[in-house]
Amino acid sequence: MALNVIFLGPPGAGKGTQADRFAQVKGIPKISTGDILREAVANKTAIGLRAKAIMDRGELVTDEVIIGIVKERLDRPNVAKGIILDGFPRTVAQAQALDGLMAGRSPLIVVDIQVPDAELVRRLTSRLVCGQCGSNAPAGLAAGSPAAAAARCPKCGGSFVQRADDNEMVVRERLKVYEKNTRPLVEFYQKRPSFCPIDGSQSPSRVAEMIEMAVDTFAITAGVGGGAGR
């Protein structure tokens, strides 16, 4: 059976970092609604043109648009072995829609990564990303430093920039939006046996170990594809 995993957590919790790594280890595709929207903004598509100002303010794009994007991805044949969802769902309406889209598929495993707010603000206001492919810069590269200006993305050769929504004012708004709209999903999912709370304040490699252990334990018990890609 397929391995379907949600990476839930506030902005800066490490959803993207861990979802990328986990998708690679398991050999299954990742859907990041944030990445899809940023690509739409860069390509100036109709959705991108509507989403840009909303994202720059740290608010949420409408459920209708987001659910449409995810539905289209879940209809693709490459999800047969499973899917990693990063940054979706983010509202109770999105979670309810996802339950509908997942009917008849393997159960959703929910990885909830939690990190204290002060650390989230520190991570996001110092994060650099590739201006071309959007990958996070290697750890330790400080925004504004000569080293950051000279560095190039190991994946595509692009230079590193700050994400448009990573200034402190917008980061604080994103945290408020998380508390109001996304934190209720913890309650929505935590009664399910597949809910895996993870302490995201430890090192990225330790967080990755804890996620793999929690997901594999549930997957073995439930008889879903925990060993996919290994």
Catalytic residues: 15, 90, 127, 163, 174
Which span (11-19, 42-50, 152-160, 186-194) binds ligand AP5, by CB under 6 A?
11-19
Q: Site residues (CB under 5 A) for Mg ion?
A: 16
How far is 85 from 29, CA to CA, in rounded Å? 9
The 198-217 site mask, x for binding ligand AP5 (CB under 6 A), equals --x--xx--x----------
Residue with tokens 């304040």: 201
Cis peptide before 89 (omega within 30 of 0): yes
Number of residues that bind ligand AP5 (CB under 6 A): 33
Choose among 71, 81, 114: nearest CA to 4: 81
Q: How far is the CB of 1 from Mg ion (least distance, A)?
A: 27
CB-count burial class (<10 Å; 0-12, 13-18, 19+) for 32: buried
Residue 225 interacting with ligand AP5 (CB under 6 A): no
Residue 6 interacting with ligand AP5 (CB under 6 A): no
Residue 21 interacting with ligand AP5 (CB under 6 A): no
Residue 17 interacting with ligand AP5 (CB under 6 A): yes
The 91-130 site mask, x for binding ligand AP5 (CB under 6 A), equals ---x----------------------------xx--x---
| Contact assessment for residue 6 and residue 99, using Cβ atoms and an 8 Å cutoff | no
How far is 165 from 170, CA to CA, in rounded Å? 6
How far is 62 from 22, CA to CA, in rounded Å? 28
Assigned token pair, 178: 């998380």
Residue numbers of the site for ligand AP5 (CB under 6 A)? Answer: 9, 11-17, 33-34, 37, 54-55, 58-61, 66, 87-88, 90, 94, 123-124, 127, 136, 139, 165, 174, 200, 203-204, 207
